[in-house]
Amino acid sequence: MRAKGVPRFPGGPAADPAGSHHERRIRSFQPRRSRVTAGQGNALQRLWPVWGLDIDGHRVLDLEEMFGGLPVVLEIGFGMGEATAQMAADDPGTGILAVDVHTPGQGNLLGLAERSGLSNIRVANGDAIILLREMLPPRSLDGMRVYFPDPWPKKRHHKRRLIQPAFLDLAAQRLKPGAVLHCATDWEPYAEQMLEVLSAHPDFENTQQDGGFAPRPAFRPLTRFEGQGLDKGHKVHDLLFRRAQPDA
């Protein structure tokens, strides 16, 4: 049996990159344990040293060097990575720093990137809050995407939702003025909360003149997960808020 803290794939993503047992705060995510296929495991072992990074909180990333000077968008939570890979292929002039804690998804995205010849994706393993707080310089991001985050539907768990004022404070510090934070969810109560919290934040402006939700932009692919929700009658809400220009 593998000892606690030992990575499942030597040379691949660490089991606990930032020592999460030292973090005394409420988490917006919970690690998922699921089977890694042979192909995903192979991709992790071969490609993680090239395109992967652990969120350890011990260094500040040089995004310009990492992406060869491309503008960089942070994607928080990418599932199995199909939509991320498609967006990277459709827009090779933008770098995507994709963060998740799901090992099969990390391996799957690395494999998709290799098969499609994509060099504008980097896969980060761990807590996005630590990445934003400790490892990214101020005004280093040209955009941020949070697609279908865990809605934590039970009222007692609402405090675990990612889109909260404290998260927006941190996001605003790392986004360049004019950069867009794009959220999407199929859980209507969470969508309403997102709209309320974003609209109230002084550092963000709704891109929609009516102050409401946005139509799904063409660059956001229809994911398999989203399709399943639509089949169940769920309505997907997109929110696009721009980082406001600082006061002179």
The C-alpha atoms of residue 99 and residue 190 are separated, in whole angstroms, by 21
Closest listed residue to residue 198, CA positions, set 167, 229, 235? 167
Does residue 37 sit in helix, strand or coil? coil
Rounded to the nearest 5 degrees, what angle is found at the Cα of 33, between the Cα atoms of 29 and 34? 125
Rounded to the nearest 5 degrees, what angle is found at the Cα of 47, between the Cα atoms of 43 and 49? 140
Closest listed residue to residue 134, CA positions, set 173, 77, 96? 173
Asked whether 141 and 72 are in contact (CB, 8 A), the reply is: yes
Decide if 231 is catalytic.
no
Burial category of 161 from C-beta neighbours within 10 Å (exposed 0-12, middle 13-18, buried 19 and up): buried
The C-alpha atoms of residue 32 and residue 187 are separated, in whole angstroms, by 20
Please report, as a single letter, which amino acid is at residue 192: E
Please give the DSSP secondary-structure letter assigned to residue 155: G
List Cβ neighbours of 204 (8 Å cut-off, separation of 6 or more).
168, 172, 181, 198, 241, 242, 243, 244
**Which DSSP helix (H) or strand (E) runs through 95?**
strand 95-100
- Catalytic residue, chosen from 150, 203, 238, 247, is 150
Q: Which long-range contacts (CB under 8 A, 24 or more apart) does 19-24 make?
A: 20/127, 23/127, 23/130
Which residues are tagged catalytic? 150
